[in-house]
Chains A and B, each alone.
Chain A
């Protein structure tokens, strides 16, 4: 059943706006607690090996130090599968920067200083950190979701390539990127007798609860996790990381005292995951009419030895273009490095840089306009699964974008437009992201005779606007005004919710709320349509979507960019970005626009700036702060236009939403790289596009 939009579609200001602009919204670390203690971590100074000795004497003797934590006095945790979380259980060191202990003290200054007094001796082992094509141990990643097949093959790619009149065969690389939410990962952990309470910055309180409960072998009811506001996440706060475990271990040493723990910016580069670098080879073959006859996309990526994570760079490729002969292939190398994790549009962001750069190269090779070339190769049914799309508006996005951007009449010749010493160019790329629903969400709705509806669900707002948009969904699900909704999220005391991730929040939580609203209507009917004096309460789980097996469900988009490149110096400035998206129903145009805009800007940042430089000698990211790991600053961003087309998709979920959190970053880097080529004639296939790659040779 679909619901009628009344509150949905209205550009409401954020409900938490006033609290945030005054700085009075309390993030995890800022929650008022009594007599807090401060934790500072001790990290491994070798890449691999074992701890031969730890001397905590000087640290313990420091006035104000309450406890020194090492593997020797840490609680033994259960041997769960996720190796990233098994810290302080032995003398082993798995990567440089890994937590091997910590100091708990009365002030943050004392804790940090005392850690520098702990002396650690190591027995170092040689480490293995280099990702190469020729490694003998490359392996196929585990499949995580059936809609992301690891390797796909259709037809005879090699033969089709060999006989194709036009061919492109190029290798593209993307850099190691770190999420770097401006709020670092923070925790306040308290152990009282037999239970934990956490204030924590996370994309999913239930995931944290489950991990801690499993590690410490507690019932989930003895782990409460509260996370009202989250200062950005982008995937780093989706899965539990070792910081939560360290805070919990510390709290166990000092019962009844809240332990406050904030990662430093430097530690954010080794503790909370990252987007792994990729090496991708794309081969395309086209016929004389500009139709793809073959498409091959292969990627290799690193993961850690502790826990597998794959970026799935080729995962969007089988959705994009109709080519009778296709192959995708992903391989992983497990290295002595920190564990990578999901980062905004994992797979699509890196993979679509390669595919959409190659599509631009192919359009040029075919002598076709890149928009026309994409339209010719648009797929009618899902090329891999053979299913019809619940809705597919890639072509509409490309056309609408072309119109708004002023694409018509574009001279494709590279390197010929110049103003005041700057070369000017424009570029386009396609975007896609699947409509994901994560299982496990439930919602409770309570109504009193005053006609106020309390909606409870352990969902998260990481800046996505959940507080506002989910209230709008609830209002329409219940057929009431949004002012009547009192939404409560971010607490395991509420019904379980899936993670804020994969742009699935509104889809998953909203579906559960719609189901609960239906139940409430039934209950009301049973009470003769009137709310009884003591109110009503219902709880419902997200229902199955019967359409899932019948349709392929994806959002699409078109990204445009105009760049200037300094002819002598090579600096790149993105003057203008324009995105048109087909994302189903837009619940709150204001917050949705911000999400798409934020994604596009993060795409610009990925294109021009972001690169964690990993030094293999030390097995460490050496650009581990915001002065050396650059993210786009205000001055790097020009005009950004965001549009969407009306899209009515009755199959995806009752709200008709497809998710807006990730698709904004997809294709943005390719559009910029393609524009750089148009401006200069130089094809940059390795991100980021730094000025050395554009500096004239002579």
Chain B
């Protein structure tokens, strides 16, 4: 029996979670179109299917908390408050992009939003998250660091080094593994001796929990609890969110290694329509209100595309800028 939504958050915030998931989905689907048109180039990894993780987790964090992620991070930046048009123009490689067109899809960043970056070396962001957490503790700031990464990262040295380090130095880091069951085309069972990721943390004496990553409220509750633990204890905590990406690893991947049946099972668990049903069932929103939200998101994304299209390319002399202070 699912918990009643109203017991967790006020109506306004519940609706906002829906809006953020819809915005994320619309944004990603629009990226796919823009990629097909050749407006977005390079690597493009879409988040469709995983929206409940970014939306639920980010809502459970404070604005001051640092967030880091991997390269599938558009939604994490958007739900943190990044303007869709600045994200889209970054993907287009335009001067108005949030990183001036120098980062692209995999390297979004906003100092202002404490969104400390998307990183494209699998596992590379974990040590950096520990360092940010150390700086917060050293400066006696009331802030924790949330670090997202995929199931593929858990076999990297940095994963083990960082978990050990975070516990040893008592750092306020919340590790969030988005287990979508695949690292490119390799299923977790084919890469990990212990595929239940959250069980690995016992080797580092870090408490951990598994959560349904297709349920935005479940993610919210788990991350809220974990973030409070981290804030109170100053120690790390670990969450494994079980989720699924509806598209291939990147635009180059037709995902032939997954069966249609498996895909259907997860499609039926799509976090957006399922959550909409619950909002309606509890009378938190009406069909008309949800439709209006969807329209607003579609318009916002369309506006982002027009903005990106109309934006100028970076000037040639920008190539020498921002390397050294």
Same assembly: no
* A interface, CB within 8 angstroms of B: none
